[in-house]
C-alpha cells in the first residue's frame, strides 16, 4: 500500500471523499485522510465508545478486484497475521472486518512521526550508531514475525515508521504486511498471481526477482539494502530502468560503501554486515534474525553506542514483560557473549550448610525436671538421625554441562582463499563450520590468515564470540627491478691529479757495514734518486 506520511502534513478534510464523516460498522468515525494509494487509503478515525484515535486502512471502493482476485483474501490474511504480532516495534492492529456495503477495513495504531524514507531524504547519510539502532529494532520485529512463519517481502524505508517513545527519537514501527507470505505455504497455496509484481525493485532480493521460493533470507537482503542506504544516502544499485535495476540485483557486484559515498567512514564490522546481507545466494546471508541481531550488537560495540535504548528488549528489561511467542528470550543489550556455563557443585558444596551453634548461657545450679530432660534427649536423637541421613545421602547429580558452540562463517573476495590458523589449514572460502569446546570460548582469540595465489595474505584476529569475517584480498604487487646506476663523470674543467707513489724500500743482503760509512736504517740500503 502507499507510503504512510507524517500526520502533521498529510491530513486533510477532503470534502469530496465519501468516507469523510461516515461511521464504519457503528464504531469508527472517519475524520480525515492520511495517505492514499492505488489499492486503498489510510484515514484518521475515532473509535467509539473509547474515543481512541486510530489509523483506518480501507480498500478503495472502486478497486477493480477482478484484475487481482486474491487481493481480498490477502487483505484479511494480513489482518489475521498482524493481529497476532505483539512486538513493540510492530504496528498494533486493533480490529478489522467488512461493512455491510463491502468496505474492507483495518483499524490500526495511530502513529505520529515520519517514515524512514522521509528521514533519509532530510538527514541521510546517518551516523553509524544511529543507523544500527534503527536496523536492530526492525530486526526484532521481524524476528517475531518469522517465529510465526511470516515473511514480510516488502521491506523498504517507506514501511519503517519512526515515532518518539520516551527519550528515543527513532523508535521503529514496522508497517504494511500486505505482501506477507507464510513460510509453510506451498507454491500452489501462496497468495500470488501470475504477472503480479510483488515487492519494491530497489530492495528486492535476487531470488525474489527470479521468481524463486522466498525465505527468511529474503528479508535479510532487503535489510542489507536499507542499511547500505542509511550509511551512504544511496541504494547500492541505481539504473535507468526497472529491468536494468532488477538485473543488477541478480548479477552485478555490490559496490563498496566508499565508492558510493567517499565521505563515509564505516567500521569494518559494519561493512561485513552490509556485504553479508547483500550476498547473491540466500545461504550465504545470515541464517536468522537472531544471528543478524548478534552481529549488529557486536558491531555496535565498535562505535560505543548501546543499541535499542528505550525500545524492544530494553523495554522488556524494564517492565519485566514476558517475550511473546517467536520473539526469543530477552538478552542484555550491552553483552554479546553467551552466558557462563553452569558449574557442577562439589560434594561439600552440595550439602546444606550447618547452622551456627550458639552455646547457651550457663544455667544456675538447679535440679532439672525429668520431663525437660526427656524432651532434650528426644530432640537430640532426632537431630542425630537427620545428620546421619544427610551424610549418608549421595550428593545430587551435577547438571549436565553443555559445551559452548559458535558458528564460523568465513568468506573472501575473491572466493577460494585458504584459511590457516597457526599454519594449519582450516579449508577454503566460503567456509562454514561449527566450533565447540575451547575453540568456541568467547575469550579465545583466533588469528587467521587468508591466502590466495596472486594476492597478498590477509591476517585478522577474531574472538571466539564472533567468528564471522569477509577478507577483501588485494592483488600482490610484482617485484620491481632495481634502477641502473649511472657512472659518475668528473666535473668539467677539473683534471685528475696523480699522487706520487713512494718507492718501496729494498731489503739489502746481510753484510757487515763499511768503516766510516754513513749510517742508514738498520737492514736497508740508501735509495738514490
- The catalytic residue positions are 154
Task: Give the number of other Cβ atoms within 10 Å of residue 290's Cβ.
Answer: 16
- Dump the DSSP string for 47-100: ETTTTEEEEEEEE-TT--GGGSTTHHHHHHHHHHHHTT---TTBPPEEEEEE-T
Can the peptide bond before residue 49 be classed as cis, meaning omega within 30 degrees of 0? yes
Nearest to 213 by CA among 244, 243, 181: 181
8 A C-beta contact, residue 108 and residue 175 = no
Question: Measured between alpha carbons, how far is 169 from 20 in angstroms, rounded to an integer?
Answer: 32
Residue whose entry in the numeric block shows the C-alpha cell 487481482 = 68
Question: Measured between alpha carbons, how far is 267 from 351 in angstroms, rounded to an integer?
Answer: 52
- In degrees, rounded to 5, the angle at the alpha carbon of residue 226 between the alpha carbons of residues 224 and 232 is 100
Question: Measured between alpha carbons, how far is 218 from 204 in angstroms, rounded to an integer?
Answer: 8
Task: Give the number of other Cβ atoms within 10 Å of residue 141's Cβ.
Answer: 24
Q: DSSP label at 466?
A: -
Can the peptide bond before residue 430 be classed as cis, meaning omega within 30 degrees of 0? yes
Q: Which long-range contacts (CB under 8 A, 24 or more apart) does 382-390 make?
A: 390/351, 390/352
Tally the residues of the chain.
529
Q: How far is CA 167 from the centre of its chain?
A: 23
8 A C-beta contact, residue 462 and residue 450 = no
The SS3 of residue 249 is helix
End-to-end Cα separation, the chain, in angstroms: 118
Sign of CA dihedral 361, 364, 367, 371: negative
Question: Measured between alpha carbons, how far is 228 from 258 in angstroms, rounded to an integer?
Answer: 11
Bridge-based pairing of strands 405-413 and 467-472 is parallel
- Dump the DSSP string for 185-247: --TTTSS--TT---S-GGG--HHHHTTPPP-HHHHHHHHHHHHHHHHHSS-S---SSHHHHHH
Can the peptide bond before residue 522 be classed as cis, meaning omega within 30 degrees of 0? no
Nearest to 6 by CA among 210, 142, 131, 162: 162
Q: What are 418's strand-pairing partners?
A: 428, 451
Amino acid at each position: 500500500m502507499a507510503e504512510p506520511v507524517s500526520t502533521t502534513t498529510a491530513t486533510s478534510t477532503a470534502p469530496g471523499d465519501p468516507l469523510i464523516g461516515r461511521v464504519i460498522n457503528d464504531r469508527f468515525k472517519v475524520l480525515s485522510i492520511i495517505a492514499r494509494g492505488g489499492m486503498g487509503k489510510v484515514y484518521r478515525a475515532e473509535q467509539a465508545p473509547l474515543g481512541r484515535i486510530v489509523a483506518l486502512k480501507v480498500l478503495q471502493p472502486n478497486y477493480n478486484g477482478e484484475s487481482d482476485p486474491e487481493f481480498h483474501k490477502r487483505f484479511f490474511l494480513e489482518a489475521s497475521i498482524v493481529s497476532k504480532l505483539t512486538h513493540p516495534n510492530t504496528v498494533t492492529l486493533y480490529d478489522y472486518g467488512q461493512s455491510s456495503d463491502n468496505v474492507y477495513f483495518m483499524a490500526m495504531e495511530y502513529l505520529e512521526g515520519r517514515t524512514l524514507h522521509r528521514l533519509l531524504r532530510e538527514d541521510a547519510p546517518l551516523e553509524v550508531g544511529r543507523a544500527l539502532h534503527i536496523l536492530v529494532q526492525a530486526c526484532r520485529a521481524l524476528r517475531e514475525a518469522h517465529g510465526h512463519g511470516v515473511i514480510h517481502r516488502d521491506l523498504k524505508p517507506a514501511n519503517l515508521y519512526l515515532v518518539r517513545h520516551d527519550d528515543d527519537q527513532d523508535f521503529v514501527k514496522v508497517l504494511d504486511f500486505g505482501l506477507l507470505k507464510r513460510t509453510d505455504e506451498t507454491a500452489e497455496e501462496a497468495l500470488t498471481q501470475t504477472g503480479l509484481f510483488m515487492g519494491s525493485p530497489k530492495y528486492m532480493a535476487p531470488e525474489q526477482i527470479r521468481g524463486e521460493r522466498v525465505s527468511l533470507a529474503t528479508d535479510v537482503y532487503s535489510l542489507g539494502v536499507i542499511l547500505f542506504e542509511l550509511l551512504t544516502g544511496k541504494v547500492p544499485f541505481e539504473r535507468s530502468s526497472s529491468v536494468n535495476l532488477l538485473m543488477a540485483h541478480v548479477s552485478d557486484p555490490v559496490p563498496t560503501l566508499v565508492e558510493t559515498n567517499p565521505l563515509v567512514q564505516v567500521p569494518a564490522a559494519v561493512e561485513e554486515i552490509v556485504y553479508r546481507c547483500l550476498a547473491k545466494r540466500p545461504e550465504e546471508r545470515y541464517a536468522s534474525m537472531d544471528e543478524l541481531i548478534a552481529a549488529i550488537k557486536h558491531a555496535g560495540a565498535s562505535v560505543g553506542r548501546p543499541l535499542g535504548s528505550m525500545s524492544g528488549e530494553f523495554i522488556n528489561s524494564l517492565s519485566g514483560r514476558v517475550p511473546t511467542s517467536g520473539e526469543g528470550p530477552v538478552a542484555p543489550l550491552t553483552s554479546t557473549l553467551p552466558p557462563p556455563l553452569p558449574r557442577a557443585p562439589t560434594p561439600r558444596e552440595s550439602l546444606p550448610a550447618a547452622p551456627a551453634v550458639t552455646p547457651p548461657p550457663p544455667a544456675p545450679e538447679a535440679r532439672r525436671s525429668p520431663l525437660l530432660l526427656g524432651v532434650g534427649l528426644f530432640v537430640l536423637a532426632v537431630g542425630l538421625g537427620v545428620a546421619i541421613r544427610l551424610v549418608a545421602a549421595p550428593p545430587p547429580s551435577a547438571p549436565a554441562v553443555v559445551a559452548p558452540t559458535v558458528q564460523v562463517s568465513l568468506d573472501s573476495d575473491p572466493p577460494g582463499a585458504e584459511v590457516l590458523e597457526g599454519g594449519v589449514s582450516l579449508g577454503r572460502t566460503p567456509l562454514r563450520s561449527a566450533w565447540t569446546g575451547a575453540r568456541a570460548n568467547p575469550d579465545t582469540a583466533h588469528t587467521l590468515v587468508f591466502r590466495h595465489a596472486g594476492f597478498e595474505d590477509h591476517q585478522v584476529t577474531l574472538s571466539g564470540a564472533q567468528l564471522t569475517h569477509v577478507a577483501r584480498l588485494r592483488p600482490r604487487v610484482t617485484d620491481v627491478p632495481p634502477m641502473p646506476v649511472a657512472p659518475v663523470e668528473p666535473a668539467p674543467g677539473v683534471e685528475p691529479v696523480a699522487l706520487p707513489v713512494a718507492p718501496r724500500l729494498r731489503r739489502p743482503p746481510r753484510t757487515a757495514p763499511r768503516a766510516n760509512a754513513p749510517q742508514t736504517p738498520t737492514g736497508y740500503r740508501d735509495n738514490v734518486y
